């Protein structure tokens, strides 16, 4: 349980430093559906979704990779110019 709390704080720091704020503001409903597992691929009740996320906090790397894949986090190797180019169509 302590490891999950540590990973939650690490995730907060990662989102704070590498978060794609422009996409998060633009796609707020999509992010909420992602967190609450309301999308077509991963439908769960609220309680199942909470247990799912607690389980995902065991392995922070997978969770960060998923957020990078959906674009909510920038990759650590991107420059500012690349970040602007990624969001030019929003």
Whether residue 38 contacts residue 25, with contact meaning beta carbons closer than 8 Å, is answered with no
Q: Put residue 44 in one of left, alpha, beta given phi > 0 → left and psi -120 to 50 → alpha.
A: beta
Per-residue model confidence (pLDDT) at position 53: 86
Bridge partners, residue 19, by sequence: 73
How does pLDDT run along the chain (90 residues), one tens digit per residue?
Answer: 788 889 999 999 999 999 999 988 998 888 888 888 887 777 889 999 889 888 888 888 988 998 888 888 998 888 888 888 888 877
CA distances from 68 to 15, 44, 46, 60 (A): 10, 22, 24, 12
For the entire predicted model, the pTM comes to 0.77
The CA distance from 22 to 41, in Å, is: 25
């Amino acid at each position: 349980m302590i490891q999950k709390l540590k990973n939650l704080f690490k995730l907060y720091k990662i989102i704070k430093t590498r978060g794609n704020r422009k996409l998060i503001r633009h796609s707020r409903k999509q992010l909420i559906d992602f967190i609450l597992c309301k999308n077509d691929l991963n439908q769960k009740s609220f309680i199942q979704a909470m247990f799912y996320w607690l389980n995902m906090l065991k392995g922070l790397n997978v969770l960060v990779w998923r957020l990078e894949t959906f674009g909510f986090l920038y990759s650590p190797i991107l420059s500012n110019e690349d970040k602007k180019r990624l969001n030019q169509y929003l």
